[in-house]
Structure 1
Amino acid sequence: MNTAFITGPTGCIGSATCRWLLDHGIDRIVGFSRKRDLSRLDTAYHSRVEWIAGDVTDLDRLQEAVEQAQPRQIIHLAALQTPDCQAQPLVGMDVNVTGTVNLFRSAAQASAPIDRVVFASSAAVYGQRSLYPSDSVSVTAAYLPPNLYGYWKVAGEGIAQAFHQQTGIPTVSLRLATTYGPGRDQGLTSAPTTAIKSAALKTPYRLPYQGREHYHFVDDVAAGFGQAAIRPFNGYGVFNLRGKTEEVGTFLELLREAASEFSLAADVAVATDATSMPFVCDLDENETLAAFPQMPRTDLREGIRQSLRRFREQIASGELCPPSP
């Protein structure tokens, strides 16, 4: 039985990655998180997903979980997002750095062979776009993180590389920017998804930042992590997840156009006091396609349309309701 072990399996990216893996040859998922929440995962998958309660900051518990699961693939998604890291820096460091050390130590000490470990890094390892004069930002560009979250992702990539050097186990770090689509409801860059959801709910929304943003549709993110975990690969590599850069205003215009197809008048715009988008854009994907040539990238217009359709279905089923007045 081919088993994948995923930390942070209950979030937007985690649940989508579980679905992708179970649809593409993985027999069993063992999820590791503080609480069991399969609400983002269709019930058809529940019987193939097991859950082990624990916190990545607890090394002993994490080692026990990896040893119990005996996975062939490990995907480390568990992390605190930028707002939480800024609000509680030491807690963020414990989860995002110590937790990552613990995960790789547990993988290194596992008795059963492991084929691949994938670490969820971030475009926050880069600085602002103006610091890079080239047309796109390559994975070889300088580390210039704008915040603590970014520094801790830099540390995570170093930990991943050290793990590979010591164990020889193929290891991948994937950098991603703004994930949008159903299930995304946490972190600073959840705002585009909130805009789509607001359009579906017929409620106004003002995006809190402006500028150019690099977008990844959630299904593509899941496929990216899934392919990085099971497709042929050797060595250690860091890659930008495939995505599309557009002005925030263009994203909102595409949303308004998609909403009109559903006979909706989307009242979405950039806030009058919007700040500047703090993260990089124009992530280069050449190295990514060389290593994983089948990694998908959904057209931005189509990703927005699919997201809007899913939210409308959730409204119809009563799963998604307007916020209380």
Structure 2
Amino acid sequence: MANILIVGGTGCVGIETTQALLQQGTHKIICLSRGQTTHAENQHITYQKGDILDLDSLSLALETHAITHVLHVAALRTSDCKAQPHLAVKINVNGTANLLEAIRQYGKVQRLVFLSTAAVYTVSDDESFVSENSPTTPLNAYTATKLAGEQLVECYSTNYQIPSTILRPQIIYGLSRGSEGSTAGVSTAITKAFHNEPFTIPFGGTTGFHYAPDIGQNTTLALISSPQHFACYNLPVESLSLSEITQNINREFQNESISHDSTIYPFPTGLIYDAFKKDFPDYSLTPFTTALTQMHQQLAQ
């Protein structure tokens, strides 16, 4: 049994990982929250008041709940980082440093998992599918702060013996994804199609996509059963064109309400995830068509 602190537990990855952990039925989950939460607690979930910018509150959470594992998924989103780069550094970099320092002082964490992003990769014509060793670039405030966070995690892992894992996902879609940000367009399109409402996904081209429940399952694997002291992984991903996506959505919901824009984002065509596949052979990767059917059934309930 693990006592798991999730920092950023109310976001998509936090929600999906919580669900995956609950399926195992043996863990105690503590979600850090800055204020009151409307989520109902059960015997396996506790909501602890705290703030990633408050080192003392992080230390209190670790000590109070005898934390053994930490998932760090708290971050300022891309658009907010662009609008407020100083705040991006404060939350994404200083907040990460606070959490690492609290873990260092506590000294009993068996695994830290830090959620980064595949948006850190440099996109080139010569390398459309990228591995963990591919070049990275601080494309914007969000990716710059994520890269800084990665370096801090590696530093603390190496110098203070904190077992740590960095995960790099691409675009996440699913009913828990929410509608914030243009990359949420696929998730929004699915809900719109269910209601037969027109919607244009605001980008095109081909890139990698993860079904949200798969993210939860794969993050849980990295959190509970990682074989490496330190590792950085691309997460398992399905490379799809937006044309394929819109066609499949319209076919699933039997209408023509969904289209996509031609704007190409500076994202890799897909990720090479051989390292994750090797270390976690029970990884999850649900085909988009299967995920669509599952979401359709959930929306119809």
What residue number does 2:6 align with? 6
Change over 3 Å in CA distance of 1:35–1:278 after alignment to 2: farther
Q: CA deviation at 1:37?
A: 4.0
In structure 2, C-alpha distance between the alignment counterparts of 1:46 and 1:8, rounded to whole Å: 18
Counterparts of residues 96-245 of structure 1 (less than 5 Å): 96-111=92-107, 113-128=108-123, 131=124, 133-134=126-127, 136-185=129-178, 186-245=180-239
In structure 2, C-alpha distance between the alignment counterparts of 1:101 and 1:80, rounded to whole Å: 15
What residue number does 1:22 align with? 22
TM-score, scaled relative to structure 1: 0.87
Q: CA deviation at 1:55?
A: 1.9
In structure 1, C-alpha distance between the alignment counterparts of 2:109 and 2:279, rounded to whole Å: 20
Change over 3 Å in CA distance of 1:244–1:89 after alignment to 2: same
Q: CA deviation at 1:25?
A: 4.7
Q: Does 1:269 align with 2:259?
A: yes
In structure 1, C-alpha distance between the alignment counterparts of 2:214 and 2:52, rounded to whole Å: 26
In structure 1, C-alpha distance between the alignment counterparts of 2:36 and 2:217, rounded to whole Å: 23
Identity between Structure 1 and Structure 2 (%): 29
Q: Is the 8 A contact 1:4 1:75 kept in 2?
A: yes
In structure 2, C-alpha distance between the alignment counterparts of 1:210 and 1:35, rounded to whole Å: 38
Q: Is the 8 A contact 1:97 1:155 kept in 2?
A: yes
Structure 1, gaps ≥5 residues long? 314-325
Q: Is the 8 A contact 2:157 2:163 kept in 1?
A: yes
TM-score, scaled relative to structure 2: 0.94
Q: Is the 8 A contact 2:37 2:47 kept in 1?
A: no
In structure 1, C-alpha distance between the alignment counterparts of 2:17 and 2:42, rounded to whole Å: 14
In structure 2, C-alpha distance between the alignment counterparts of 1:237 and 1:19, rounded to whole Å: 24
1:227-286 Cα offsets, whole Å, 9 max, x none, are 0001141221000010111111111111112113xxxx2400014xx5322322310011
Change over 3 Å in CA distance of 1:132–1:102 after alignment to 2: farther
> Aligned residues, how many?
300
Q: Does 1:281 align with 2:275?
A: no
Q: Is the 8 A contact 1:4 1:73 kept in 2?
A: yes
In structure 1, C-alpha distance between the alignment counterparts of 2:174 and 2:38, rounded to whole Å: 17
Structure 2, gaps ≥5 residues long? none
Q: What is the letter of the counterpart of residue 69 of structure 1?
A: H
Q: What is the letter of the counterpart of residue 119 of structure 2?
A: A
Q: Is the 8 A contact 1:5 1:74 kept in 2?
A: yes
In structure 2, C-alpha distance between the alignment counterparts of 1:35 and 1:278, rounded to whole Å: 36
Q: Does 1:70 align with 2:66?
A: yes
1:66-119 Cα offsets, whole Å, 9 max, x none, are 2222211100001111111111111121111111111111111115x2211100
In structure 2, C-alpha distance between the alignment counterparts of 1:33 and 1:230, rounded to whole Å: 22
